Amino acid sequence: MNRILSLVRRCVEDYDMIQPNDRIAVGVSGGKDSLVLLTALAKLREFYPVPFQVEAFTLDMGHADGREGMDFTPVAQFCQELDVPYTLLPSEIHHIIFDLRKEKNPCSMCAKMRRGALHNAMQQRGIHKIALGHHYDDAVETLFMSLIFEGRLSCFQPVTWLDRTQISQIRPLLYCGENLIRHTAQRLNLPVVHNPCPADGNTKRQEIKELIYQLNGRYPGLKSRAFGAMQRLPLPAWGPVEHRRRPLPEEPEDLEFIPENEN
């Protein structure tokens, strides 16, 4: 966990993600990424020189037939151990997308509906910042997806301000590789909840993940060069704060990727 904390703190400082007395929501899906992010921020608040609070939110997607969704009791207990307030938000998003609308390409609509539900809950509680679990590999995959499927160089930003909702999105795991996150979740025995989504592992992102794995085997260091290019160009909002600019390691720790379907 120390390695994760070091990289998270560095990312937070490079992109000035946390301001004094922030209340930061963490969208906890139950997957390894969101649970590691929650753990890292809960521990970071204990010694970070800028005081901030952390609150966890889980959106229960429900089942396609409208029945009650997954059991997040272990996640709620884990939040209690971390001394982090926890809110479970029921929804019928899964039912709407897969049963009523029968979406063939559900990911975009699902993301919009989940984001809307989380933002509404945050606004009701007066929270204006949310930490998302996107990591190093997610960023590289998004860059390749944009290039291959859209013909442009683009990626989500480390910090994004949403004018309509007055909410700021931050991504503190951007310097952490997927395998480092996976191994950390296993070592800490985090309460990972299996994702029952019918589209899980059968998406364009999974195709790109496997393509990058193959290319990185043929051209070692490809991922680190792609990630560095986003910072050096830089893509919009990807240039770290100038006086804190520091080169990343050639490859984040434990980055060898073995394709598999997972949260």
Question: How large is the average pLDDT for residues 152-165?
Answer: 92
Cα distance between residue 54 and residue 160, in whole Å = 18
Burial of 3 (0-12, 13-18, 19+ CB in 10 A): middle
Distances (CA, A) of 60 to 70, 138, 208, 249: 7, 23, 28, 37
Strand partners, 58: 88
Amino acid in the structure at residue 241: V
* Domain assignment of residue 154, yes or no: yes
Of residues 27 and 114, more confidence is placed in 27
Answer yes or no: is pLDDT of 123 > 80.
yes
DSSP 180: H
Q: Is the peptide bond before 234 cis (omega within 30 degrees of 0)?
A: yes
Q: What is the full DSSP assignment across 43-70?
A: HHTTT-SS-EEEEEEEEE---TTS----
* Domain assignment of residue 263, yes or no: no
Answer yes or no: is pLDDT of 84 > 90.
yes
* Domain assignment of residue 68, yes or no: yes
Q: How far apart are the first and last CA of the chain?
A: 20
Highest average pLDDT, of 126-130, 193-197, 227-231, comes from 126-130
- Cβ within 8 Å of residue 16, ≥6 positions away: 159, 241
* Domain assignment of residue 134, yes or no: yes
Kindly report, residue by residue over 48-76, the tens digit of the pLDDT. Answer: 999 999 999 998 877 544 445 578 899 99
Q: What are the φ and ψ backbone dihedral angles of 177, each rounded to 5 degrees?
A: -75, 155
* Domain assignment of residue 250, yes or no: no
Domain count, the chain: 1
The model scores a pTM over 0.95: no
pLDDT of residue 202: 61
Do residues 92 and 98 lie in contact, with contact meaning Cβ atoms separated by under 8 Å? Answer: no
CATH number at residue 84: 3.40.50.620
Share of the chain above pLDDT 70, in %: 79
Share of the chain above pLDDT 90, in %: 62
CA nearest 252: which of 187, 178, 186?
Answer: 178
* Domain assignment of residue 257, yes or no: no
Q: What are the φ and ψ backbone dihedral angles of 25, each rounded to 5 degrees?
A: -85, 145
At residue 170, the 3 state secondary structure works out as: strand
Extract the runs of DSSP E, i.e. beta strands, from the chain: 22-27, 52-60, 86-90, 129-131, 159-162, 167-170
Q: Domain range spanning residue 162?
A: 2-244
Length of the chain: 263
Q: What are the φ and ψ backbone dihedral angles of 111, each rounded to 5 degrees?
A: -60, -40
Q: What is the dihedral of CA 30, 31, 34, 40, to 10 degrees?
A: 100
At residue 18, the 3 state secondary structure works out as: coil
pLDDT of residue 106: 65
